[in-house]
Structure 1
Amino acid sequence: MKRNMLKLLALSVIAVFSTAVSAQETYRNPVIFADAPDMSVCKVADTYYMISTTMHLMPGGPIMKSKDMVNWETISYVFDRIDDGDRYNLIDNQTVYGQGQWASSLRYHMGKFWVWFTANGAPGKGFVFCADKAEGPWKLVARPPHMHDASLFFDEDGKKYLFTGSGSCTVVELDDNFMPKKGGLNKRIIDGKSDPEENGALLEGSSVIKHNGMYYVCMISMKWGVPGRVRREVCYRAERIDGPYEKHIILETPFESYGGVGQGCIVGDDQSDKGWWALIFQDRGGVGRVPCAMPVTWVDGWPMCGELNNGVDKNDIKECLNPKNYHIPNDVTKRHPSLQGIIGSDEFANAETLSLYWQWNHNPVNDAWSLSERPGFMRLKTSRVVKTLQLAPNTLTQRMGGPECTGTVCIDLTNMKDGDCCGLAALNGDSGILRIVKKGSKFLLQLVEEKAVFKGRTIERCDEEIIMQKPLAFKNKQKMVYLRLHGDFNPGRDMAQFSYSLDNSKWETVGREIKMTFDYTRHFMGSKFAVFNYATKKTGGYVDVDWFHYEEN
């Protein structure tokens, strides 16, 4: 009996000690080391919900959730596709690269979730969706006019507004149909040109909250060509929704020399100054735009992104993005945030639905892919003759993760037709592509660097360099190939290295590394894993993808 009591006491001490340790666990920014820009966050009970931009990818409007603002998982998409013309279907060289769903606003109001976003490019209209649960289903309720980087706001008196603009901010009152209300408030409240400190800066990305009776508008401030001037987050506040507004800089740091951190949101409980958080993204080259989380300290009524160094001096805010600096709330024990729940492996075992990890490049051709025709495989059929991966329908994509990651895919080539191309790519405006080309009865492995040349949003041409080419010799009728892509997003790198195998045991590195670039004039995204199959001569062929395996490094 005594021995059992001592054992129970020891276990209790260990449990208390473990809880104390877990409560002190810290995390390292970025909390999502992958492309998830333009975040909008709301909190419902003890859960945070977030939406980000995925532009031309379908389904779109990814909804993520977290208990701690650090570890996130994708739980739904707001829409399956956008049917606003041929460009969403890659018809006649038309595309919506860098356009489509953009800078959404996520709110919880009257027991429902609301999303507002504008689809950039013609016809340039907005979307309003509503759902009882963040997991969906989501219902389209309105198609309002285009409003740039709009932030939806429900006030306490029942009125609703949009805060919108680029270089400035205008508040627009909305009617019951989410249209600008006739005779309602429509006023420019912030003008970067009239602010001597912000003169010439690009102010955009409005995010609005109300706290202690004050209205707060957070925006990114960008000014190119000014030495030492990094991107920063500025905040404007007023006692009335129509102003006047005063300004304060709430975040300004180069953070590992990537040019500053700006554009995002702050979220917390209006009943208290405690427990507030900021989620603000940073451009990190080839991997894309990555969210960084930090606690918010209210100082003289301003939401400063950081903590007080000594808990007393209001002028002594910690370097807000210092690695391993902040404690994870709610006793979460992961020291380094994982991308599990956002990027991941897939055995294609579910014959009914596609994993939330995946998005199609533009609208899919739904009768040209199947999870059920060969159970345990993703069948990708050719449905259109195209010249390039940039215009290929039914290309499956996932984000790539930093600082390093590896994606490996297993593909059965048996049913390819002459002229078909399939493979694995680091997809962007400039892409690294490891592809298999069917030529007659032969299979050629090619490593290609492809650079898309745009005219507006239309693909004018793609310039490609074949870096390496070799025939593949299979030993049996079933022609399985294994393709691997390693992405290195460490500072100064942004390189993709490809390799292949015919038995998933003996691997051969292919060619040289290929640079991954972030280009806002074309895709405006980080590089994506892309699994593809398209026809260059005639349709009718298909490949079966057995699995995709993802590893964080």
Structure 2
Amino acid sequence: MFTDVLDNKNFKNPILPGFYPDPSICRVGEIYYMVNSSFAFFPGIPIFQSADLVNWEQIGHVLDRESQLKLDGAYYSGGIFAPTIRYHEGVFYVITTNVDNRGNFIVTANDPKGPWSEPYFIENAPGIDPSLFFDEDGKVYYTGCRETKNPRFFGDSEIWLQEIDLDKMQLKGESSTIWRGALKDVKCPEGPHIYKINGMYYLVISEGGTEHYHAITVARSKNISGPYEGNPGNPILTHRHLGKDYPISNTGHADLVKTQNDDWYMVLLGSRPYGGYYKNLGRETFLVPVVWEDGWPIVSPGTGKVEFEYPFPNLPRSDKGQEEIRDDFDKEVLDYKWNSLRTPKEKFWSLKERSGFLRLKLKPMRILDVVETKGDNNYKKYAEESPSFLARRQQHINFEVLTKMEFTPENDKETAGIALIQNNNHQFRLEYSMENGHKVVRLVSCKRECKESYVIDYEGKNIESTINSKVFEADVLYLKVTAIGQEYNFYYGSSLDEMKLLAENVDGRILSWELAGGFIGTCIGLFASSNGEASCNHADFDWFDYEGK
């Protein structure tokens, strides 16, 4: 995955566009490695490498086996939160949180491409956003954020520290609270990372919540256990004062790295609203330079905000090529960009049953079925299942998606096609099915509003509506979606030369997390469902194109 290089001197942000939040980075020699949150998608925790901090190649997933990643009952914004990657004496460590199953754990590897170990779950480690710090005296420390003992409001949390024995994968000694953020009564201090620089311990965190008021703050101490003094210039980075019309918002959740040339950079998340304050792309990964003055980091010196353009780092350029527009499904394994919802207990796709095609088997579960933990029939039936759905991230404000599908629905329940999804309540489906004995192509939307972006609405039924439906008799068909900002257009046809418009200028804002709630970005993919009924049918996809415009 490669960012746009503007010329020989500058690069363009974000460096990982689309739903790649909570970046964490480390350097080993002259190579950089980075991981991101993956939430309820499988495989979990995409891992990238780069030689120049700008162009990133995905080399795998940290959690790519069912035994490593249990996502039973996980909602779209559940699952894996905020991994941290570190390297020490020949071993890579990733520490993270599975918010739906057992909490905080560590996996290790000698090679970042894997295989990674089975999870070591850390007992008596409450909260989320864990990080590891390797001190010069050989001691290792766990930092995380947890709720205060007597919370006064939502997000009343604190940063805590405890020594950890990595031979036993156990915490040792007593835990201590080391900081509660730069502001009094701050909301959601989180994402802590500790660095030792010139004999001082620096604690970088985020606070204010991961939405509009997100901010990065820093404190330092002569002792790792504190007391920590806050930077008088805090926050060292935020966009909350720039207003909702500013093109980059909710900057935060940062990690620092020093290059082999002693230059400093920060990776962090941010979003690009468009069509109003709507963020279909979710939280993306940005890169900014850092300098040090008077013992404190200065982020994006000269402007103090994340810019779309910066001078290219003083590092050798990557010679890797651009990502391919088309996936021909001609490999033996799925490309790293594809993900399923939750851990698939049975394989619903095949690249071998028909050479050169992706075959999706129709499953009774729908991609709009609710998975919740309150015990209704839907949960009991589907909590441990994945729908027949493979998705990739939307990475551009303007894009075109196109696929060639072979599918013969046998009844009104059977359907397959392209889905654009923010969660089960907010999605578009460009699908092929049957109605009253006729084959039809139709566009279905689903929407339910939430009051706040972090609210997840489990209650009630999905609100579905068919935007348009056309009788179309064909066993081979082409489906296309284009987007120019928040205006989405949907097409179908029996050949690329005879594409017909099904729906024009459809409002895409239902795919933003301002309306949908949760923490992810829009995913676009292929699905097949029998809508609650047993089926032996399948849909075959010859290829899939995704192109940013």
Is residue 280 from structure 1 mapped to residue 258 from structure 2 by the alignment? no
2:71 alignment partner, SS class = helix
1:508 and 2:489 are equivalent in the alignment: no
Assess if the C-alpha contact under 8 Å between 1:60 and 1:101 holds in 2: yes
Match of 1:483 in 2: 479
Among 176, 180, 202, the residue aligned to 1:187: 176
Contact 1:95–1:459 (Cα < 8 Å) also in 2: no
Residue in 2 that maps onto 1:325: 310
Structure 1 position 232, deviation (Å): 2.0
Q: 1:419 to 1:151 in 2, by over 3 A?
A: same
CA shift digits 1:140-186 (9 cap, x unpaired): 151114441111122222221111115321002112322221xx141
Query: Could you report, residue by residue, the CA deviation over 1:494-552 in whole angstroms, capped at 9, with x for unpaired residues?
Result: x4332222202222232241322115975421111021001123221101111111111
Pick closer, same or farther for the CA change 1:488–1:157 going to 2, 3 Å.
farther
Conserved 8 A contact 1:97-1:522: no
State how far apart, in whole Å, the 1-side matches of 2:539 and 2:338 are. 18
Q: Cα–Cα, structure 1 residues 46 and 236, in superposed 2: closer, same or farther, change >3 Å? A: same
- Tell me by how many angstroms 1:62 deviates: 0.6
Asked if the contact 1:486–1:496 (Cα under 8 Å) also holds between the matched residues in 2, the reply is yes
SS of alignment partner, residue 505 of structure 1 = helix
Distance in 2 (CA, whole Å) between partners of 1:520 and 1:148 is 25
Per the TM alignment, residue 47 of structure 1 is displaced from its structure 2 partner at its CA by: 1.1
Shift of 1:282: 0.8
Give, in whole Å, the separation in 1 of the partners of 2:280 and 2:225: 40
Q: What residue is the counterpart of 2:187 in the other structure?
A: 201
1:222-301 equivalent positions in 2, closer than 5 A: 222=208, 230-248=213-231, 249=234, 250-253=236-239, 256-268=246-258, 274-284=262-272, 285-301=279-295
Question: Structure 1 residue 372: deviation in Å?
Answer: 0.4
Whether the 8 Å contact between 2:207 and 2:217 is mirrored in structure 1 is yes
CA distance in 1 between counterparts of 2:144 and 2:328 reads 43
Give the counterpart letter for 2:464 in structure 1: E
SS at match of 2:20: coil
8 Å CA contact 1:423, 1:533 repeated in 2: yes
Question: Could you tell me which of 46, 51, 68 is aligned with 2:35?
Answer: 51
Q: CA separation in 1, counterparts of 2:6 and 2:204?
A: 33
Q: Are the counterparts in 2 of residues 33 and 402 from structure 1 also a CA contact under 8 Å?
A: yes
Matched, 1:130 2:108: yes
Q: Check if 1:211 corresponds to 2:189.
A: no
**Contact 2:469 2:502 (8 Å CA) reproduced:** no
Partner deviation per Cα, 1:261-299 (whole Å, 9 max, x = no partner): 111211115x97x31110111133111101110111011
Q: Which range moves more in the overlay, 249-258 or 354-363?
A: 249-258
| Alpha-carbon distance change, 275 to 456 in structure 1, aligned in 2, over 3 angstroms | closer
User: 1:190 deviation in Å?
Assistant: 0.1
Question: Retained in 2: the 8 A contact 1:131–1:138?
Answer: yes
Say yes or no: does 1:421 pair with 2:415: yes
Deviates more, 1:321-330 or 1:51-60: 321-330
Unmatched segments (≥5 aa) in structure 1: 1-20, 308-316
Alignment-mate amino acid for residue 447 of structure 2: K
2:466 equivalent in structure 1: 466
Root-mean-square deviation (CA), in Å?
A: 3.0
User: 48-57 or 424-433: which moved more?
Assistant: 424-433
1:399 and 1:344, CA in 2 relative to 1: closer, same or farther beyond 3 A?
Answer: farther
Which of 492, 510, 530 is residue 525 of structure 2 equivalent to?
530
Q: Distance in 2 between matches of 1:252 and 1:523?
A: 21
Q: 1:407 maps to which residue?
A: 401
- The change in CA–CA distance for 1:267 and 1:389 in structure 2 (over 3 A counts) is same
Please state whether the residue corresponding to 2:496 is helix, strand or coil: coil
Cα distance change on mapping 1:380 and 1:223 into 2, 3 Å: closer
Give how far 1:453 is off: 8.8
- With over 3 angstroms needed to count, the CA separation of the structure-2 counterparts of 1:79 and 1:200, relative to structure 1, is closer
Aligned to 2:379: none
Mapped contact 1:24–1:328 kept (Cα < 8 A): no
Q: Distance in 2 between matches of 1:276 and 1:387?
A: 43
- The one-letter code of the counterpart of 2:134 is F
What fraction of aligned residue pairs are identical, expressed as a percent? 27
With structure 2 as the length reference, what TM-score do the two structures score?
A: 0.82
TM-score by length of 1: 0.82
The structure-2 alpha-carbon separation of the partners of 1:115 and 1:459, relative to structure 1 and needing over 3 Å to count, comes to farther
- Could you tell me whether the CA contact under 8 Å between 1:144 and 1:179 is conserved in 2? yes
User: Aligned residues, how many?
Assistant: 495
Q: Distance in 1 between matches of 2:118 and 2:516?
A: 30
Kept after mapping to 1: 8 A contact 2:269/2:283: yes
Change (3 A) 1:333 1:179: closer
- d(CA) in 2 for partners of 1:282 and 1:37? 8
Aligned amino acid, residue 169 of structure 2: F
Residue 386 of structure 1: how far off its partner (Å):
4.5
SS in 2 for 1:140: coil
Instruction: State the distance in 1 between where 2:68 and 2:311 align.
Output: 44
1:397, distance to aligned residue in structure 2 (A):
0.7
Which structure's residues are more often helix, by fraction? 1
Within-5 A mapping of 1:141-152: 141-145=119-123, 146-152=126-132
Contact 1:32/1:290 (<8 A) preserved: yes
Higher Rg of the two aligned structures: 1
Q: Which amino acid in the other structure matches residue 388 of structure 2?
A: N
